[in-house]
Chains A and B, each alone.
Chain A
Amino acid sequence: MDDPRERFTDLYDRHYRSVLGYALLRAEHGVAEDVASEAFLIAWRRLDEVPDPPLPWLLGVARNLLAKQRDSRHRGKALVDRIAALTTPRDQVDWDVADHVVDREHALAALARLPERDVEAMALATWHGLPPDQAAAVMGCSTRTYNVRLHRARRRLEKALRAEPGAARPYTGAVGHPFLEEA
């Protein structure tokens, strides 16, 4: 269908939740909603410039809006604070069932020590499921640069996890952790 309103409604119905989910992990709830709505208003105004697939473009617009919003003092901790704000008891239950190598709080603490760009590189890959070229488009860098960031982010996170005092359970692979094979 060539009708711009129909195209836009499709775009909104498919991607609003992803865009808001992205913003919710970077800004407080009310701000996140406004950012998501504003990102779609921009998409409407520039509908013919929206590429395919549209999600990286939309997340990039939201990212820019958030950058204007953001209090720079909070950078490092912002994501961890947002995760904490959105955490419910079910998350703890899930965590326990999955039998991770560290406690959830300790994992969050490790995350809080990472540079924000590293966390973002990982989030785009694991939470949003974006392949490197699309994640790079969101972050406004080359695919190569993104891959380097992602690699560095994983290394830093592994290191931070090992350094966490709560990492009491030694990393033993599957041995002694029956759930691990099923998880």
Chain B
Amino acid sequence: MPSSPPSPRDPDREQHMTDRLFAALRPRALDEVAEEAYGRRRAGDLARAFDAPHTPSGRSARARGRSRRPSLILAGTAAAGLAAAVVLVPGLVSDDASPGRAPIQAGSPSTPPVASATPLDARSVLLAAAETAAREPADSGRYWYTRTRTDSLIRDLPGAYEARLDELLRQREAAKGDAGGDDAAEKAAEKEFEREVGRLKRESARSAGPPFAAATSETSETWRARDKGGTNRGVTRPAPEATFASAADEARWKAMGSPELVPDRRTRTYEDDLDRVLSIDNPGLTIRNVSKLPTRKEALRGRLRDMYEASPGRRGQADAGFAAYLWQTGTDLLTSPITPGTRAALFRVLAEQPGITSTGRAGDVFGREGVALSTTTPGDETTRGDVEYRMILDEGTAELLQIEVRDERPLPLLSQAFERTGWVDRLGERPAG
């Protein structure tokens, strides 16, 4: 500032005033509006870009020939018309317009509806998740905390199998009593019993299940000690009541005399210092070495292959088993303390998998929304039709929200919602936020 009062017509002073006044006309809300839109559109914009062909440069692109997909934007036109652009940028189909989080759409309310809205493909979603995951800070603590809600379809009335087995046992004892020491008769009774138990087991596996669709639910919290020999804790609380797929299902249950569906409502707690497995298929993975998994796609894929070959669950399975293995192991890893680099690499490995499709937006049991990716495998005699494995990813944070295993029944056979994961420093403590 000049020490003497400026003259009213000082041109520099006047220009400064004009600029300052102009600058002050910029609305303050602009930054907040931009920030909000950034958070809301980022994942969709990244995924849409990665879904589009990327041209390295004009010359080399021509040298390499055409891209795999037709290039929809006219070559060399930065000024591609917006009307055309809207058609070129398909949005996610939003089938759930619940409030709280705006669905990703290419067309916002102000623009004409997008005619060709199709779901983003799974690959693009996973590649965008990889980019997001790679930017998360690495964290650490003394205990890895997880809070998981597990919903399981009721496939048999609790106790029904045991009751029938008890009945067969009673019949056997009665038959043996009738035999009165006759060896042949006793052997026949034993054979009959074994045959009946075999039939019961097969029936149970193939069981059409109860005439209603309902699921039990429980919430588990686990604290896994990072240090070897540290104390682990697990607390599992069953929900006191089952949930029914519909009112009609509940009515059918009542018509049966409302049989007990949650036989044990007690909270189960364990504390031990065992090296608990993180992943059933991968007994070699521990809370300590899981953070040392490769952070590059090729290296991680190779390691997963090796772990698959060594997997105890693999026994005699065909190569197609790798897809199912990857799905389950991927789930285990995404809820484990792997590094941001490994997370990113894992999403890239998953993005290469054939047969994973994006089925649009979906909510988890807590009402959190994300993108659902799924893969389908043929069912067996215990399922109704094919089995669909589904994961719901929060595309904003690249977090795994929920996994589901479904067949043709109205409720998933199994769903697990990962409510909270993170490092804490004390047993019983939960991550902040």
22-38 of chain A: CB within 8 A of chain B: 24-25, 28-31, 33-38
Please determine whether A49 and B57 come into contact, CB atoms closer than 8 angstroms: yes
The smallest C-beta distance from B427 to any residue of chain A, in angstroms, reads: 37
Select from chain B the residue with minimum beta-carbon distance to A128.
B26
Which residues in B have their C-beta under 8 angstroms from that of A17?
Answer: 31, 34-35, 38
A111 interface residue per 8 A CB criterion: yes
Q: Which of B24, B28, B45, B80 contacts A40 (CB 8 A)?
A: B45
Which residues in A have their C-beta under 8 angstroms from that of B5?
Answer: 173-175
Please determine whether A34 and B19 come into contact, CB atoms closer than 8 angstroms: no
- B interface residues, how many (CB within 8 angstroms): 67
Please determine whether B110 and A127 come into contact, CB atoms closer than 8 angstroms: no
Please determine whether B25 and A108 come into contact, CB atoms closer than 8 angstroms: yes
Please determine whether A9 and B46 come into contact, CB atoms closer than 8 angstroms: yes
Please determine whether B8 and A9 come into contact, CB atoms closer than 8 angstroms: no
Give complex CA distance A122, B109 in Å: 31
Which residues in A have their C-beta under 8 angstroms from that of B131?
Answer: 5-6, 9
A139 interface residue per 8 A CB criterion: no
1-55 of chain A: CB within 8 A of chain B: 4-6, 8-9, 12-13, 16-18, 20-21, 24-25, 28-31, 33-38, 40-42, 44-49
The smallest C-beta distance from A160 to any residue of chain B, in angstroms, reads: 10
Q: Mark B172-191, 1 if CB is under 8 A from A, else 0.
A: 00000000000000000000
A138 interface residue per 8 A CB criterion: no
Q: Which of B14, B30, B110 contacts A31 (CB 8 A)?
A: B110
116-152 of chain A: CB within 8 A of chain B: 122-123, 125-127
B53 interface residue per 8 A CB criterion: yes
Please determine whether B89 and A38 come into contact, CB atoms closer than 8 angstroms: yes
The smallest C-beta distance from B187 to any residue of chain A, in angstroms, reads: 71
Select from chain A the residue with minimum beta-carbon distance to B344.
A6
Please determine whether B80 and A20 come into contact, CB atoms closer than 8 angstroms: no
Which residues in A have their C-beta under 8 angstroms from that of B26?
Answer: 25, 83, 126-127
Contact status of A12 and B6, CB under 8 A, knowing A5-B131, A29-B110, A127-B26? no
Which residues in A have their C-beta under 8 angstroms from that of B22?
Answer: 111, 122-123, 126, 157
B55 interface residue per 8 A CB criterion: yes
Please determine whether A42 and B80 come into contact, CB atoms closer than 8 angstroms: yes
Please determine whether B41 and A157 come into contact, CB atoms closer than 8 angstroms: no
Select from chain B the residue with minimum beta-carbon distance to A151.
B15
- A interface residues, how many (CB within 8 angstroms): 72
Give complex CA distance A158, B385 in Å: 76
Please determine whether A45 and B54 come into contact, CB atoms closer than 8 angstroms: yes
Give complex CA distance A5, B34 in Å: 23
Please determine whether A37 and B27 come into contact, CB atoms closer than 8 angstroms: no
Contact status of A88 and B29, CB under 8 A, knowing A30-B108, A173-B8? yes
Which residues in B have their C-beta under 8 angstroms from that of A64?
Answer: 78-79
Please determine whether A45 and B52 come into contact, CB atoms closer than 8 angstroms: yes
Which residues in A have their C-beta under 8 angstroms from that of B6?
Answer: 173-174
Q: Mark B206-217, 1 if CB is under 8 A from A, else 0.
A: 000000000000
A78 interface residue per 8 A CB criterion: no
Which residues in A have their C-beta under 8 angstroms from that of B56?
Answer: 4, 47-48
Contact status of A86 and B30, CB under 8 A, knowing A5-B127, A17-B38, A154-B19? yes
The smallest C-beta distance from B62 to any residue of chain A, in angstroms, reads: 13
Q: Which of B21, B38, B46, B107 contacts A34 (CB 8 A)?
A: B107
The smallest C-beta distance from A90 to any residue of chain B, in angstroms, reads: 5
Give complex CA distance A161, B8 in Å: 14
Select from chain B the residue with minimum beta-carbon distance to A32.
B37
Give complex CA distance A87, B53 in Å: 39
Q: Which of B30, B42, B44, B106 contacts A24 (CB 8 A)?
A: B30
Which residues in B have their C-beta under 8 angstroms from that of A122?
Answer: 19, 22
Give complex CA distance A64, B15 in Å: 30
B50 interface residue per 8 A CB criterion: yes
A sample of 10 cross-chain residue pairs with beta-carbon separation below 8 angstroms, ordered by A number, consists of: A8-B49, A9-B135, A12-B45, A20-B38, A29-B33, A31-B110, A35-B82, A44-B49, A157-B22, A173-B5
> What would 16 more interface pairs be, CB under 8 Å, given A5-B127, A65-B79?
A6-B131, A16-B41, A17-B34, A25-B30, A31-B110, A34-B107, A34-B111, A37-B44, A38-B80, A38-B82, A44-B49, A47-B55, A65-B80, A65-B85, A68-B79, A88-B27
